[in-house]
Each structure stands twice: as C-alpha cells, then as structure tokens.
Chains A and B, each alone.
Chain A
Amino acid sequence: MSQDVLAGLAVILEEVAGVDPADVTPEKTFIDDLDVDSLSMVEVVVAAEEKFSVKIPDDDVKSLKTVGDAVSYIQRAGVAA
C-alpha cells in the first residue's frame, strides 16, 4: 500500500472534515470510524481526484468503505492512467 497516497488522503481528510491525520489508517471506515458524512465524502473524492490525477466515478465511490479501499482504488486508477 502506497504510503504517499495514504499520507495524501490524510491531508485531504484533515482539510475537508477535520480528521486527525493520526487516525487515518487503512482499516478505518470513512463514515463510522472517521465521521466523514456523505457530503464531505464528495469533497474528499473531488480533492483526491485533483491531488492524484485520477477519475473516481460516483458509482465507484459507494464501494470505498475504508481508507484502504480508497488507497487501493487510487493506486489502481493511477497505474491505469
């Protein structure tokens, strides 16, 4: 798992939703563990698209339950791009 992507997500989560970067670990769920609501999740996705130069279609966002899901998705999408 890319530490760069994980660290980048932590920066976004802190900026958008006030999440402590220390709490951003792969097994954490966005909604239940990190208290990122569905509206803020949209902001996280848009910020991640910009930061990592990837596309994350809305249909795929639903499958991103944990931080690890998102890191893996961004890595795959980044390789594909």
Chain B
Amino acid sequence: MTTTPRQVVVTGLGATTPLGGDVASTWEGLLAGRSGARRLTEEWIEQLPVQIGAPLATELPLARVEARTLDRSQQMALVAAREAWADAGSPEVDQERLAACVASGIGGVITLLTQHDVLREKGARRVSPHVVPMLMPNGPASTVGLEFKAKAGVHAPVSACASGSEAIALGLDIIRAGRADVVIAGGTEAAIAALPIAGFAQMQALSRRNDSPESASRPFDKGRDGFVLGEGAAILVLEAAEHAAARGARVYGALAGAGISSDAYHVAAPDPTGAGAARAVRAALRSALLEPSDIVHINAHATSTPAGDLAEAVALRTALGDHIDAVAVTSTKSMTGHLLGAAGALEAVVSILALRERIVPATRNLDALDDEIALDVVSTDNRKIGTGAALSNSFGFGGHDVCLAFTV
C-alpha cells in the first residue's frame, strides 16, 4: 500500500546575492542576463592566481551589534531569512512546530582567519568571545533559529556545494515526518577570502579569466575553465500544505520531493558516469511521485568546471532518458558565480520563480555548447516554458548529490 506523503509548499522567499540585495532584484538581474562577477580589489588579491569573484551586490542592512557578533555567513542568512519570513506574511506560528535548516559549506571561515590574525598579532586576550559561535558551521542555522524562535529543531547539514539543497531536503523530511509544520530552510556562504581562493585555485577548480570576469563563468561552454567564487544566502519558508491553507498563505509552489545520493567515487572529482547524480535525480522523481515526462525545466548544478558539467549532462540523460531533449536546462551560476553552500538554496528560489513565471533565464556566456554535452541549454534569450515540474541539482566535494523537485 502506498500512502501519499504530506504535501509541502513554499510560502516565502528571501535572498541576498551577487545580483541584488533581495529576491526581486536578483530575479530581475537573472532575466536581464547580468553577471555578478568582477575583479576583486582587496589588498590580498595580488598574491593570488585567481583575482575575480562574485561578491554581494549590496551592503547588508544590519544593526551594528549584529554585524559585530555574527560572521558574514550568519549576517547574510539573517538578512535572507528576514526577507523570506516577511514574504511569507510574518505568520504567527507555534514555535514548537517551527524548525530551521540553514546550511553552509564551509562555515565562518572569514572569522576563523581574521581571528587567527588577532591571536598572532595581539594575543589570546584580544580574541573575540564570539569567535566559536561565529565560525561553527551551524552558526547561521542558530542565528536564524534564534531570530524566529524555532523550537522544533535547528539543523545545518554540511555537504560542501550541496549543503543548501540538502538543508531544503531535510526541511521536506521534517515536515513529512510530522516533526514541524513550518521550516525556514536554505543556505549561506561567505568565503571570498585569500585562503579559500588559494585552495580552490590549487584544485584547478576556479576560472582564471582574470581579465574578463563577467565572461569567466561559462557553464556547458566549450571554453569553460572553472567556476567563479560567489557569496550570498537564500532562504525558503517551507510549510505543510494544510498549515499554509489554514492561514490563507500565498503559495509559490510545492517542494514536491527530494533525492539524495553519494558517489563513493572520489573526494573531489565527479564520477564521469554520473551514476550517483542520476540516482539522486531518480530518487527525487520517486519522492515527488513524478515521471521523467513531467519535467519541463532543470536548474543544473553546472558550475563551469570542465569535468563537472560533462558528468552532470551524462547523469541527466541517464536519469530522464530521451525526455531530457525536451527539457529546458539552465545554469544560474553563469550569472551569480558559485555560492557553494548557498548555491542550491538560491537555485531552489530561481527554480520556483521560473516555474511560477513560466520563464527560464538564459545561461550567460554560452557561446559554443561543448560538443560532448547533449542538453537543450537555454542560452541567449530567456525561454517561455509550459506547466510542469522543475528539478534543481546540487553536487558537492565529498561526492554529495542532491536533487530537489518543484511543482506549481
């Protein structure tokens, strides 16, 4: 006997990104095909082989004490969560039925590095007493949980660049399991600092197009040479459908399902067969009670690395068969850069909006599709799509594969 799982809907969206300080400006930037990448100007940049990134478009609207006691990743999560919560109508909810799942791939790395400098230069007495809660990877989840008094659990799944999607998948599980009625879910990342850039560069993961930052992130293009490191946060308010209906909430769409798998192949390299990623996609379809033919749109992980984009293309064909030829695929990262642990959350927001507005933002910088990539990637012009379901993929170092399924 099969039972239909508890329906989970999305009732609020929030984001602060390289394209804008909120969801509306980010979406507008995506539709306009703008790039958030630029040449970095920090004093430490000259020593690095990669000198481009995609920082936040705007200053964070925070009180001075919030800025002082929260890591940048926590600050961004708080800003995005406040937008999402207001967008959901600032509902009165039973705090014991409210959970928070806010992930980061790396945690408070900027705090860790700057406070290590303080320790070495000024001594232990001058280290901030806030340093541990600022650098812990669950810090952003804690910040958001405290802000909205979430008492049904505060979680921070860590799975590198899949973290944001995994947090949303966990939120789905929590509501389906009946442990909460509302979950504030998403991801955040603030890792534009010398050490992370140097480390990613050593892995040959970053684009070296220092002289043309806006064309550096070029997913699926023949000339792609790595990702552009971005920063930001995105948050969704997930809600049990009956809870949303009871309070008359505006519903963007449904988080219909989620699939999670792991490659067990290599700590960083994608499995070229795409087997793990394909299993995540199929698991998401099963979880959502969807067939491949229901899918009209895929927001690909597509970071612009040579190996990753190719493996994802293989995985999508494996998972959806020939129906993949009828699916409009796009890469948000061509415009935002790669937000690491926030990427999946931002792309969840974008997927929902694409379904709702029935338009897929074109992938920027796709001048010549890689001959080995057999996908219908939306490029040059945004594309209208019909009704149906959308998938959003996220993969992370460590072999993490997460796929979210949305319907409207």
Q: Is A42 a contact partner of B63 (Cβ separation < 8 A)?
A: no
B120 at the interface (CB under 8 A from A): no
Q: Is A17 a contact partner of B129 (Cβ separation < 8 A)?
A: no
**A46-59 interface mask toward B, CB cutoff 8 Å, 1 = contact, 0 = none?**
10010000000000
Q: Is B63 a contact partner of A46 (Cβ separation < 8 A)?
A: no
Chain A residues, CB < 8 A from B126? 46
Q: Is B68 a contact partner of A16 (Cβ separation < 8 A)?
A: yes
Chain B residues, CB < 8 A from A18? 63-65
**Nearest Cβ on chain B to A18's Cβ, whole angstroms:** 4
CB nearest to B130 among chain A residues: A39
A69 at the interface (CB under 8 A from B): no
- With beta carbons under 8 angstroms apart, the residue of B63, B64, B129, B133 that contacts A43 is B129
B380 at the interface (CB under 8 A from A): no
B7 at the interface (CB under 8 A from A): no
Chain A residues, CB < 8 A from B63? 18
CB nearest to A19 among chain B residues: B65
Chain B residues, CB < 8 A from A16? 65, 68
For chain B, residues 354 to 368, give those with C-beta under 8 angstroms from any C-beta of chain A: none
B: which residues have CB within 8 A of A?
A: 63-65, 68-69, 125-126, 128-130, 133
CA distance A42 to B126 in the complex (A): 10
Main secondary structure of the interface of A (DSSP, over half): helix
Q: Interface size of A by Cβ–Cβ distance < 8 Å?
A: 9
**A25-66 interface mask toward B, CB cutoff 8 Å, 1 = contact, 0 = none?**
000000000000001101100100100000000000000000
CB nearest to A43 among chain B residues: B129
A: which residues have CB within 8 A of B?
A: 16-18, 39-40, 42-43, 46, 49
CB nearest to B128 among chain A residues: A43
CA distance A16 to B65 in the complex (A): 7
CB nearest to B65 among chain A residues: A18
User: Could you show 10 A-B contacts with beta carbons less than 8 Å apart?
Assistant: A16-B68, A18-B64, A39-B130, A39-B133, A40-B69, A40-B129, A42-B129, A43-B128, A46-B125, A49-B125
Chain B residues, CB < 8 A from A40? 69, 129-130
7 closest Cβ pairs, A-B complex: A18-B65, A42-B129, A39-B129, A39-B130, A43-B129, A17-B65, A46-B125
CA distance A40 to B68 in the complex (A): 10
Chain A residues, CB < 8 A from B65? 16-18
**Nearest Cβ on chain B to A43's Cβ, whole angstroms:** 6
Chain B residues, CB < 8 A from A17? 65
Chain B residues, CB < 8 A from A46? 125-126
CA distance A43 to B115 in the complex (A): 14
CA distance A24 to B377 in the complex (A): 61
Given contacts A42-B129, A46-B125, A49-B125, 10 further A-B contacts (CB under 8 A): A18-B63, A18-B64, A18-B65, A39-B133, A40-B69, A40-B129, A40-B130, A43-B128, A43-B130, A46-B126
**Nearest Cβ on chain A to B107's Cβ, whole angstroms:** 18
**Nearest Cβ on chain A to B115's Cβ, whole angstroms:** 13
CA distance A18 to B126 in the complex (A): 20
Chain A residues, CB < 8 A from B125? 46, 49
CB nearest to B68 among chain A residues: A16
**Nearest Cβ on chain B to A33's Cβ, whole angstroms:** 17
CA distance A49 to B125 in the complex (A): 10
